[in-house]
Chains A and B, each alone.
Chain A
């Protein structure tokens, strides 16, 4: 038998299996592909918590499988194909770099549903989803601007992609709003998860006088570095990182994928799954703000919570004019709110941030 017809045959067989699921005869199988280890304490850890929540909520109607530490590229494509061959009905691919691999595999398995995190390519059986992390960054920026004494805020950035740049801008806008003297020092580490590099970056920032360190990387290494330094404040990233509370970790941005994962799995079970693009924030609960610790004065905490409530009910958007770009050109007029298209592809700093986005 030819290999191609074999593969097509397997896909058809899977189609039949999926049909059986709708009748409730068989468990719905959900696969998760992770870019880091589930014990990273950050990004992958939260996705895995989402997976466990699916198991808990849907009980014996579902079976979940996962593979961690999957490199982007051909390895990811192989792992996704393997899951589809093993009978997965729904596969969550949880890293931006899995985008083209997800589309490729989805073409081969039209009856398997795919959900790709943080990407922009969709298909009949591929949805995309992401969270408005920048909403959380606004609250972080506010607290950081109020709390810094050296007026230097360090920022450990991963890759110069729109998601990360949005976070930097959002944090800076709100820090500068309450503290015009604030200065951001940004270090690009070109990794999502590398405790050694992240620790080095944190130490370098602290040596340059930063007394608040924000991170857009997934390990707890910067928290440990700040704890060692003693008087440096941090925020948990992707996960609560509560083991470093109440200080240095004074709050956190938590990605809560559980409600989304449960809803999408339920949709597959019900046969109502459709391809769509989801970009949710604090309001729907995809982004949560971790407990603001007592290291933050009560009035600052109150302001931060008020901002959170305003963002949640939609009365405040973190990118509201007047705002200028770094080069001084106008971006948003007074009261104007950024559109999602611009935010999705953001590749510029706002006015006041020094340095350049690496090219």
Chain B
């Protein structure tokens, strides 16, 4: 097992290096840079000398390979540099938003899990009844409804409902407070994006739970358990569910990794200042350094989650052995 993990960790290196190459050169294919955006952003005339000084300061006039070397070398000496737009350190820029994105991702994954596993079981146990059709309809609707639109509808619903009840419309707060400072305030802001994205991700997991359960329920050991006279609840929960959960765990874990960087559009709808918004802003400002570090963070989270999931697989299912 240790050997397997080590091998997988080593395989991550070329993936991360490839991602670094891809994002570094992709960004520099764009004509223009942060200096032009800042000094000539609104179509104003910009002094070429000022632009040259700005580039000199940010190291943008160095040869590409030298810039790339600096970028990669930064990871070895734990110096990620500064945001080219704000001048603050990249670590700081990410740090203040990471918390929010992490919380939304955890909450959304929680919502998805709580919805998907019970519904998937209900749907599989009552296969081809109206209950099953309802759950499947609910799941397909979840895939079809864009989460950013659902977000808009949720805000709209809140406005209308609070208007009807209290007489004055209420909207989720916009500025972020950590959960340990003011839990009610924090949750009243973040629960809605978590529901909007969680519903969408639950849809995939419902279908996965359902088909995995159906497969397991046809296994001989389930028939044996029933033949022994075991109550149905125990058969389902202890014998079937445990074996059906593996693929569902994978799906939920990968979604969590995806949510860490993929909330771009939902954050826009709810006006959240998370990693997704930071990424959109960084791309817009052509802030190369911040963008590439953000991308590397997201890719790192993704490959690490992949690894943890694969290791968890072997742990959850003793039949799987890695070599």
Bound pair: A and B?
A: no
Please report A residues at the B interface, Cβ cutoff 8 Å: none
